[in-house]
Amino acid sequence: MLMRARSSAIAPEIGSIALQNIQKRYGAFTAVDQVSLSVAPGEFISLLGPSGSGKTTTLMMIAGFEFPTSGEVLVDGRDITHLPPHRRELGVIFQNYALFPHMTVAENVAYPLRMRRVGKAELETRVRRVLDQVHLGNLASRYPHQMSGGQQQRVAIARALVFDPPVLLLDEPLGALDRKLREHLRNEIKTLHTEVAKTMIYVTHDQDEALAMSDRVAVMHEGQIRQVSAPQDIYRRPADLFVASFVGEVNLIPVKLSSGDILGPEGQSLLAAHCPTTDGDATLCVRPENLHLEVAARETSSGIKGHVTGSTFVGDATIFELRTESGLQLTSKILNVTQPKTIPAVGDACVAKWQPQDATVLTK
Ligand SMILES: Nc1ncnc2c1ncn2[C@@H]1O[C@H](COP(=O)(O)OP(=O)(O)O)[C@@H](O)[C@H]1O
Ligand SMILES: [Mg+2]
């Protein structure tokens, strides 16, 4: 995974958000369940989760388009829970752009300033500046239908930035775009975040996007936040099985914890640096890139024994499938940079191994 410096050029002093036990019920159904989250000024935080996990509802309660059944929303310590959207001064960007079709790009972007009765000269200066920021200076007189999806989304971003809100809320803004463009705009938004030094809350179901863009990621499932951590920690130290499985690929190995031992499917002793001290059934998690295959291992070799059942060349890596003696299916990913001494072949007997620090045992 690429690491990048995450500090902003200018550290802003405003734009903190606090969600305090917010809950949203629709009849008997709880869409958002006791969510608490503190976001620092200038932070880029993602709400990451599958469809229906409550991301949009959470964001809309911050924006003011939905109101919580209980709990509070604070901006810079001020309770805004019951304020209408236009009195919150937060920039909002939706997946479907939501541009006015009968207005030019410049008119779309000027709209929030007109609503605020900003004078003509200042309005024109600010529209020009923000259009330059999103690289649309030369398209100011076009209409939305004359632009690509990526360009339209840039207009939406410009319109949200133009009145200089301390916080931008983005709901799957790249969801309608193809993969290459998504990756390109992802980088543009990240650069913009550094330039404008604003708090950004970014909703996505795309784990790569969340890991690549965020200072911190909040993983949501069934209306709850399951973990809030830096991307590296979400990936390396998932807090529960949902986070481990939703973010990245993972091998899940059923184990028994007994007086400090981790017992594998065939009763063998396994290693994991991160393990609870309680006894009982649990799951050992190890990522495919950390699962190594040892061909023709000695009888005494520790690990999990099995047979290679498949290998797939995917360019940068080869993915090996392993079937263990107890019938588990495991996946090992070996980068094609350096070839291991013995390349496993389909049918080979081998032992799957990992470094203790790369394994986490979870009980839920
Ligand atoms: N107005 C509504 N009435 C009833 N249920 C709703 C309403 N809005 C959202 N939901 C439900 O709340 C859950 C969370 O929705 P949402 O926040 O849109 O999820 P996400 O953005 O993570 O896909 C879903 O099960 C959805 O069907
Ligand atoms: Mg949504």
Say how many Å lie between the CA of residue 43 and the centre of ligand 1: 26
pLDDT mean over 159-179: 91
When the pLDDT of each residue in the chain is averaged and rounded to a whole number, the result is 92
**What is the distance between the alpha carbons of residues 225 and 71, in angstroms, rounded to a whole number?**
15
Say how many Å lie between the CA of residue 138 and the centre of ligand 2: 32
Lookup result for tokens 């209306």: 223
The answer to whether residues 271 and 359 touch, using CB atoms and an 8 Å cutoff, is yes
**What is the distance between the alpha carbons of residues 10 and 130, in angstroms, rounded to a whole number?**
18
Instruction: Measure the CA angle with vertex 134, ends 188 and 173; round to 5°.
Output: 60
51 lines ligand 1 (CB under 6 A): yes
Lowest mean pLDDT, pick from 27-31, 68-72, 348-352: 348-352
**Phi-psi bin for 106: left (phi > 0), alpha (psi -120 to 50), beta?**
alpha
Say how many Å lie between the CA of residue 156 and the centre of ligand 1: 23
Say how many Å lie between the CA of residue 80 and the centre of ligand 2: 22
Three-state DSSP at 141 gives: coil
Share above pLDDT 70 across residues of the chain, in percent, rounded to a whole number: 95
Ligand nearest to the CA of 66: 1
Ligand 1 atom at minimum distance from 220 CA: 22
User: Which pLDDT does position 300 carry in this prediction?
Assistant: 61
95 lines ligand 1 (CB under 6 A): no
- Flag whether pLDDT at 283 surpasses 60: yes
CB neighbour list of residue 5: distance below 8 Å, 6 or more residues apart: none
Ligand nearest to the CA of 223: 1
Lowest mean pLDDT, pick from 27-41, 49-63, 175-189: 175-189
User: Which pLDDT does position 96 carry in this prediction?
Assistant: 79
pLDDT mean over 174-182: 86
User: Which pLDDT does position 235 carry in this prediction?
Assistant: 97
49 lines ligand 1 (CB under 6 A): yes
User: Which pLDDT does position 8 carry in this prediction?
Assistant: 45
Instruction: Measure the CA angle with vertex 25, ends 92 and 242; round to 5°.
Output: 80
Ligand nearest to the CA of 65: 1
Atom 14 of ligand 1: nearest residue by CA position: 54
Amino acid letter for position 287: R
Number of H helices, E strands in the chain: 8, 20
Using pLDDT thresholds of 50, 70 and 90, give the confidence band for residue 95: confident
> pLDDT tens for residues 223-275?
999 999 999 999 999 999 999 999 999 999 999 999 989 999 999 999 999 99
- Flag whether pLDDT at 6 surpasses 60: no
**What is the distance between the alpha carbons of residues 159 and 254, in angstroms, rounded to a whole number?**
51
Amino acid letter for position 309: T
Q: Which domains does the chain have, with CATH numbers?
A: 17-241 (3.40.50.300), 251-362 (2.40.50.140)
Say how many Å lie between the CA of residue 29 and the centre of ligand 1: 10
27 lines ligand 1 (CB under 6 A): no
56 lines ligand 1 (CB under 6 A): yes
Ligand 1 atom at minimum distance from 59 CA: 17
Tokens of 359: 């394994």
Q: Which of 24, 48, 56, 220 to mutate to test the pocket of ligand 1 (most atoms within 8 A of CB)?
A: 56
pLDDT mean over 128-137: 92
Q: What are phi and psi of 89, to 5 degrees?
A: 60, 40
User: Which pLDDT does position 15 carry in this prediction?
Assistant: 95
16 lines ligand 1 (CB under 6 A): no
- Flag whether pLDDT at 279 surpasses 50: yes
User: Which pLDDT does position 7 carry in this prediction?
Assistant: 47
Number of Cβ atoms within 10 Å of the Cβ of 359: 23
